[in-house]
Amino acid sequence: MITEEYIENGILIKKMTTEASDKRTDEEKNIILDICNKCQFKNNSICDKCGCLIESRIQYKTTNCPINKW
């Protein structure tokens, strides 16, 4: 993940961009989804612990489970 910082109109802007190496493979995502599907905090496609959309959260290697299941 690359972070750019710059000032625009007196406001500090932080922009994060991703690289291909930041993304999880389909195999990694499937393993995580299997764990999430068995979790008591999964509510449809939302994690009730952190409120995230699970499909979005598992995309990047920089994210983790709020209760450390993955």
- The structural domain count of the chain equals 1
Structural domain containing residue 31: 23-70
Answer yes or no: is 66 within a domain: yes
Per residue in 21-68, pLDDT (tens digit) is 889 999 999 999 999 999 999 999 999 999 999 999 999 888 999 999
- Tokens (6 digits) for 37: 């599907």
Answer yes or no: is 50 within a domain: yes
Answer yes or no: is 40 within a domain: yes
User: Which amino acid, residue 16?
Assistant: M
User: Does the predicted model carry a pTM greater than 0.85?
Assistant: no
Contacts of 42 (CB under 8 A, 6+ apart): 36, 48, 54
Answer yes or no: is 63 within a domain: yes
